[in-house]
């Protein structure tokens, strides 16, 4: 029986569903699989130290979440083409002493949106958040055919850097930096900041900007019903919570760690059982 030691690096990750998602799927596939939380708030060590310690301890791989998806980059030996293009890593595979960074967030979000809100308009979309998760979502949206993407982040320099990368990859005119008022003219809104998480309660924008014609997707999944989604639902918007994305990116990470193809539908059912709610749109 093959065995694997995997970890999750990030801050405030106690409520994460990742350990149960990975371990339950491994059980179904006959793999011995241990998944550990490496919480930066608890360890009080920089991500470089945690990465080095995991490598020495014989970990087979790591998932990486907020706030380390970009901070981990200088400490890796190699990046996959996707991770290099996004400038963010959520999966690290240790292979022959080398730490190789990958990104499964973009495909996870794209698949979640396509299955959860398959018929929504993508002509004009607003993205809130230009960090590691936001970069993945931005690339996914443009790859899915979004005509114009407006990126808003409280850090204007970070927004500008992401937009520059998007223009280099997808061409000029498809991405711009903008303010929250762009939501008034948008077909869809995607939220990719920590706001709304259990440790960061609240909504990233005033409810008055929401209207029934707008679809709203949130990548936060703890809780599934964030303040933003509750407000959007009350305004008549179609909404998509972050459950689908977290499951589908986890499935791809699992494949990278083990070389074994997981069953994404089964993992979605695992998540539903864990959370008591379906990992799909509403």
Which residue numbers are catalytic? 69
Residue 193, SS3? Answer: coil
Q: Distance between CA atoms of 20 and 35, rounded to whole angstroms?
A: 8
DSSP string, 165-219: HHHHHH-TTSEEE--GGGGGG-SEEEE-SSTTSTTS-S-SS-GGG--TT-EEEE-
Q: Distance between CA atoms of 254 and 151, rounded to whole angstroms?
A: 30
Closest C-alpha among 11, 12, 28 to residue 270: 28
Q: Distance between CA atoms of 14 and 39, rounded to whole angstroms?
A: 8
Q: Distance between CA atoms of 100 and 249, rounded to whole angstroms?
A: 17
């Amino acid at each position: 029986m093959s065995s694997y030691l995997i970890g999750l690096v990030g801050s405030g990750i106690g409520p994460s569903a990742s350990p149960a998602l990975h371990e339950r799927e491994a059980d179904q596939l006959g793999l011995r699989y241990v998944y550990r939380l490496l919480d930066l708030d608890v360890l009080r060590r920089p991500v470089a130290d945690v990465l080095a310690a995991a490598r020495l301890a014989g970990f087979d791989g790591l998932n990486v979440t907020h706030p380390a998806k970009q901070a981990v980059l200088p400490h890796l030996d190699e990046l996959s083409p996707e991770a290099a293009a996004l400038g963010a890593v959520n999966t690290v595979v240790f292979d022959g002493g080398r730490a190789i960074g990958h990104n499964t967030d973009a495909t996870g979000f794209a698949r979640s949106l396509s299955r959860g809100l398959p018929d929504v308009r993508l002509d004009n979309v607003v993205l809130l958040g230009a960090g590691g998760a936001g970069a993945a979502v931005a690339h996914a949206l443009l790859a899915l055919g979004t005509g114009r993407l407006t990126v808003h982040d409280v850090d204007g320099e970070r927004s500008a850097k992401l937009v520059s990368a998007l223009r280099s990859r997808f061409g000029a005119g498809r991405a711009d930096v903008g303010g929250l008022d762009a939501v008034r003219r948008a077909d869809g809104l995607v939220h990719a900041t920590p706001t709304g998480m259990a440790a960061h309660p609240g909504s990233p924008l005033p409810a008055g900007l929401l209207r029934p014609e707008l679809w709203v997707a949130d990548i936060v999944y703890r809780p599934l019903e964030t303040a933003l989604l509750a407000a959007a639902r009350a305004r008549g918007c179609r909404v998509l919570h972050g459950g689908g994305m977290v499951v589908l990116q986890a499935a791809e990470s699992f494949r990278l760690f083990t070389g074994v193809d997981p069953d994404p539908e089964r993992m979605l059912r695992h998540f539903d059982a864990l959370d008591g709610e379906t990992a799909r749109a509403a």
